[in-house]
Amino acid sequence: MTAYEAVKVRLDPTPRQERMLASHAGAARFAYNLMLSRICRQLSLGERPDWTMYAMRRWWNEWKDEIAPWWRENSKEAYNSAFEWLSQALRNWSDSRKGRRSGRRVGWPKYKSKRTSIPRFAYTTGSFGLIDGDPKALRLPRIGRVHCMENTAKLVHGRRIVRMTVSRRAGAWYAALTVEQQPGAHPARKARRRDYPVGVDLGVKTLATLSDGTVLPNPHGYVRARHRLRHAQQTLSRRDKDTNHGRGSNRRYKALDRVRRIHARIAAQRADRIGKLTAWLAATYPDISIEDLNVRGMTRNHRLAKHVLDAGFAEFRRQLEYKTARAGTRLHVIDRWYPSSKTCHRCGTVKAKLSLGERVYHCDGCGLTMDRDLNAAVNIMVAGSAPETLNARGGDVRRPGSSEATQTPVKREPSGHESAVRLGAAPGNRGM
């Protein structure tokens, strides 16, 4: 079975190429808004429009010379990608109304704005992709050779590129390459150095604490950049937004670009940190156990929401799931109601209350004293080794005491490594 993987690289276009990229993105936005207006007009007249991508393409090919005589300046793929995205948005709206989609309802598609929407377009056919003998460049039809910031050929690793989406975020252009991932075709990973299971306790003070004593620090990217971000947002608030027919002054959009660049840098640092940590975990340990955290519920605490979102718990788990599957590592997800922080891993005593301010765990039963995150990581490791633990998202999560059976960890005799950790002889921080 063929799987797909995304490879995102930053482009380094010339000023002329930047204008052409913006022209392609503007053409895609024009086609999207034009077709959405036509569908809305048909619905207002009581007609039943055909909003499949192929129907939109046929109508566009019939009327494009009269509606947009300049269409030849851009690649046809820019218009086709707009029809594909609009067709998917309308299909999602229709399925949501018919109850075919779980979760919240999907609203009617909105028009794309030149100022607020993300400029983007995609290539699915034609001679796009890598250039032989030029590993740090990509070929874009109608635009030509565009230099890249990194070795794209090394990232693609000889796999076939089936799609390339070009977008602009915070003043920089990026190309997202969708490549085929054949079984066993991924570059070889480094051999694992440790042959014992590990439990991972995610937190705000430290991003992750492992059951073997390894501590992965949390750099707090948003907290460190909040002063620069606050200053940029204050400058933006002073700029006039009522000039230029209500669209705002040019100085306001320059200030807005500065705010966007700061946010983009924070997001890039977070993605880089999580990507490296999850790849290291998947390549180092044969069995990994984590908790099924309720991130949405944690963000309801307004004192912690900023720090929880800055840590990226949901993204950490998402990347760990597919990277462990790709590396052949077993991933175990523990029930979110399992009291890993309140339970003593030596005697099993469960505390009734444990405030977030108590960073050292003191057991009233056996007198154990150790770091609360390390204690939770050991409990997660033991619970993940139980036979009842489900892999990844393989089962329902219910609160203990409900009418149906719940997932409960089974105690077992600890291995030699676990006994060393329980006796307080856990190895120190081995780094990465």
The residues that are catalytic are: 201, 291, 373
**Tokens in use for 230?**
């606050």
Query: Which residue carries 């990507």 as its tokens?
Result: 275
Q: How many CB atoms lie within 10 A of CB 374?
A: 23
Token pair of 318 as six digits: 């998402």
Tokens found for residue 210: 């492992």
The DSSP H or E segment spanning 198 is strand 198-202
CA distance 194 to 190: 12
The single-letter DSSP state of residue 103 is S
Lookup: tokens for 281: 């975990």
Q: How many helices (H) and strands (E) does the chain have?
A: 12, 14
Angle at 121 between CA 57 and CA 163, to 5 degrees: 90
Q: Which residues contact 385 (CB under 8 A, 6 or more apart)?
A: 197, 287, 289, 332, 412
- Kindly state the DSSP code that residue 262 receives in the 8-state scheme: H
Q: Label each residue of 1-65 as H, E or C.
A: CCEEEEEEEEEECCHHHHHHHHHHHHHHHHHHHHHHHHHHHHHHCCCCCCCCHHHHHHHHHHHHH
Residue pair 174/6 in contact (Cβ under 8 Å)? The answer is: no
Contact predicate 130/51, CB 8 Å: no
